[in-house]
Amino acid sequence: MSNLLTGKVAIVTGGASGIGLAAVQRFVAEGGRVVIADVAQEAGEAAATSLGEAAAFQRTDVTDEASIQAAVDAAVTRFGRLDVMFNNAGSTGDGSSITEIGPAGFDKTFVLDVRSVVLGHKCAARRFKEQGTGGSIISTVSVAGLQGGWSSVSYATAKHAVVGTIRHAAKELAPFGIRTNGVAPGVIMTPLIAKAFGVPPEKADELVQYLVGRLGSKQAMGRYGSAEDVANAALFFASDLSAYVSGTVMPVDGGISSYTLSTSDEEIFAAAQEFARSLT
């Protein structure tokens, strides 16, 4: 490790599992100190304990501004400052088609996936301005925010809105030395994918392995992405290596968003349904 984050303090929302946990672990390995901000208290506390003094858990509901602000306050109280905000928490939301989507499901998806990112920018940027130190804001997008057809209308629209937030904030926050960027994962094999297909949590790892074995070799780079792949991209944006980079969204997708949409999403859906049926 090269200690890219020595002296830096970060908040990672949704940091108790999946991409968020991988980022927490990577940040700590690079010398950073991290607040794990998540609603999953047991998992978050366990993750913080495993990482020792460099990590702390703060129960955080990212749909609530006061809760996000409390995470910022917790970082400052525990570690003395804040340098990085990783707006990672989110969900696939309402999976209804455009002809079936209702206002409630659409709005709920936007609150979790878009409002949380706006509020994360707000709370972190206020702290950065108060410190006078600048800072880095990172947000998890998705290939669904770069190209149509990868997900439901609510999720795709929400992630496109996150891209808009990043681009707007880059201009507004630049005078204060605050940069903002996004990472856009492709198909990343985490337990969250099991939840999206209705597979019981205890079978999540089995589903992931099933999909990797069934379809991984068909991907352009011969494998699916991992949470660690996304964490490495987030590390770049969190570190001073990206000191002159703002307003960008980096795809972490093995190249799939650079060419015509393949049948990957349809194949995953079919294979996951097949796996789910095998459990009954």
Which of 111, 266, 241, 95 is CA-nearest to residue 181? 241
Sheet of strand 55-59: strand arrangement: 55-59, 33-38, 9-13, 84-87, 135-140, 178-185, 249-252
What sign for the dihedral angle of Cα 225, 32, 119, 165? Answer: negative
Q: Return d(Cα 165, Cα 153) in angstroms, integer.
A: 18
Q: Which of 155, 210, 224, 259 is catalytic?
A: 155
How remote is the C-alpha of 258 from its chain's centroid?
21
CB 263 within 8 A of CB 218: no
φ, ψ for residue 216, nearest 5 deg: -55, -40
| Residue 155 bears catalytic tag | yes
Taking alpha carbons only, the member of 89, 23, 30, 28 closest to residue 55 is 28
Q: Which pair of tokens denotes residue 27?
A: 């940040």
Measured CA to CA, the distance from residue 259 to residue 189 in angstroms comes to 21
- Surface-to-core class of residue 149, CB atoms within 10 Å of its CB (0-12 exposed, 13-18 middle, 19+ buried): exposed
| Contact criterion met (CB below 8 Å) for 38 and 44 | yes
Residue 177, φ and ψ in degrees, nearest 5: 75, 20
Which residues are identified as catalytic?
155
